[in-house]
Amino acid sequence: MENFFDKYIHSIERIEPIKYTGSVIGVKGLMIESKGPRSVIGEICTIHIPSIQSSVLAEVVGLEDSSVRLMAYGETKGIEVGCEVVASGHVLEVPVGLSLLGRVIDATGKPYDGKGEIFPEAYYPALASPPNPMERKPIDKRIVTGVRAIDGILTVGKGQRLGIFAGSGVGKSTLLSMIARNTNADINVIGLIGERGREVMDFIKRDLGEEGLKRSVLVVATSDQPSISRLRAAYVTTAIAEYFRDQGKDVMLMFDSVTRFAHAQREIGLATGEPPAQRGYPPSVFDMLPKLLERTGTNDKGSITAFYTVLVDGDDMDEPIADKVRGTLDGHIVLQRSLAARQHYPAIDMLTSISRLSKRVSGTCTKKAVQRVRRWISVYSEQEEMINAGVYQKGSSPEIDEAIDHHQAVEEFLCQEENCHITIEDTLKSLSELSGIEIPEAEYSESPA
């Protein structure tokens, strides 16, 4: 009952006794122009549409003299010259609290799942600054993803941020769902940004499942929604994760995908008159990416471990968005189409993937075992064409012979069924058997190093 009244108290506190109003003077593509109201960049306004007796929320994205440029969060159908525009006096805020668990919300924080109203414990601003770097806790504990290839070879620390890079249809969403179901993080916050409408229910019902949904919050902005909705959904996802981190929780943030977030800002930037720069992306895209990505990680209360998917156009790892994200994050997992074609799932390319903090959160014997297995993978990859063609004669090189002898076992270790849950104990035992290096039980803990 207390939460019920908190909602109304917050609404009263946010009421602006003086309303600034304006009127629509033009609609150009994605952009709505109005004369007035007095407002600031990022402020939420309401556009009243008398012809259909409705209204739509819009955000201020540009100002020029007395002209205000807005982008609507919903359909612009029915908007005409003269429609009243009312400023709210505040920027977008996100309802947060434990009541969000198991729920699906939209870019404005409203329920998207038909399960009734959400009674939040507090409101967080969608746009916020990253934690002070001097107040971030060091990353010295391992987090479990339940994916053997990651926990064994690409060990992830609590508060680390990694990118999952792949072309379309190689298994990014499936890998995220495996992590969401199997991780030992306290809470999952999942952002589906620019996804196909069909894939949303598929992800919830088939990939995430009932158990995964119970401890997850989903923020959804599908590809058919306005670009401002897709853009702001990214910030809403991050704000929710920040709230739970501030409660001392270890949060797993999964963001699919950064590329569609960048596409949304490109559409907005070009519509507001920004000049295109690298491959048609305006400069604002490359300014916004690090500001969004740096908000995750650790602070002085808790941690946000983040996985960001990047849709690599044409499998080009050097395209601008992939290059910028890779340089900002603490590691990258590359999914290869050739591995997926061989039914090797998850299709992680171990030679081009790296976790920059894996050595910091792994024990001494574990690091030696990983080094040995990585070497076998590297040697076999270098000689694979000769081996498959029958050119290589066994006995010519002891190192190559060893890589060939262990190749099948390495492949079995790296492959995992989608619905298979593997504990960290099972992963390290398998790694020990594979490498021939004994890993003591002391290294099974969160802080093995």
385 within some domain: yes
pLDDT of residue 11: 64
- Length of the chain in terms of residues written: 449
11 within some domain: no
449 within some domain: no
Q: For residue 179, what are its two tokens?
A: 């992590």
φ and ψ of 358, to 5 deg: -60, -40
Owning domain of residue 109:
94-358
Residue 265 and residue 294 share a domain: yes
Q: For residue 314, what are its two tokens?
A: 């044409």
Residue 210 and residue 183 share a domain: yes
Identify the residue whose tokens are 């946000």.
304
Strand partners, 367: none
Residue 288 and residue 157 share a domain: yes
Cβ 429 vs Cβ 409: under 8 Å? no
pLDDT of residue 173: 85
The number of beta carbons lying within 10 Å of the beta carbon of residue 113 is 15
**CATH code for the domain in which residue 437 is found:** 1.20.1270.330
The H or E element containing residue 339 is helix 337-341
φ and ψ of 313, to 5 deg: -65, 125
**CATH code for the domain in which residue 326 is found:** 3.40.50.12240
Residue 214 and residue 352 share a domain: yes
- Name the nearest CA neighbour of 261 among 240, 298, 290: 290
Residue 237 and residue 212 share a domain: yes
8 within some domain: no
Residue 341 and residue 262 share a domain: yes
Cβ 223 vs Cβ 195: under 8 Å? yes
Torsion of CA 227, 233, 239, 243, to 10 degrees: 170
Cβ 3 vs Cβ 121: under 8 Å? yes
Cβ 73 vs Cβ 231: under 8 Å? no
Q: Name the 3-class secondary structure at 438.
A: coil
Total of domains in the chain? 3
What is the model's pTM? 0.91
**CATH code for the domain in which residue 67 is found:** 2.40.10.170
Domain end among 317, 333, 358: 358
Residue 326 and residue 218 share a domain: yes
Residue 353 and residue 306 share a domain: yes
1 within some domain: no
281 within some domain: yes
pLDDT of residue 434: 97
5 within some domain: no
Domain end among 50, 67, 91: 91
pLDDT of residue 205: 86
Cβ 325 vs Cβ 155: under 8 Å? no
Residue 151 and residue 60 share a domain: no
- Name the nearest CA neighbour of 88 among 38, 44, 125, 54: 44
In angstroms, the Cα distances linking 276 to 31, 183, 208, 270, 439 are 17, 40, 38, 7, 53
9 within some domain: no
Residue 226 and residue 147 share a domain: yes
Residue 101 and residue 84 share a domain: no
Q: For each of the chain's 449 residues, which pLDDT tens digit applies?
A: 445 566 666 666 666 667 899 999 999 877 899 998 999 999 999 999 998 889 999 999 989 888 999 999 888 889 999 999 999 888 888 999 999 999 999 998 999 898 988 888 889 999 999 999 999 999 999 999 999 999 999 999 999 999 999 988 888 888 998 999 999 999 999 999 998 888 888 888 888 888 888 899 999 999 999 999 999 999 999 999 999 999 999 999 999 989 999 999 999 999 888 999 888 899 999 999 999 999 999 999 999 999 999 998 766 778 899 999 999 999 999 999 999 999 999 999 999 999 999 999 999 999 999 999 999 999 999 999 998 888 988 889 999 999 999 999 999 999 999 889 899 999 999 999 999 999 999 999 888 86
Residue 401 and residue 348 share a domain: no
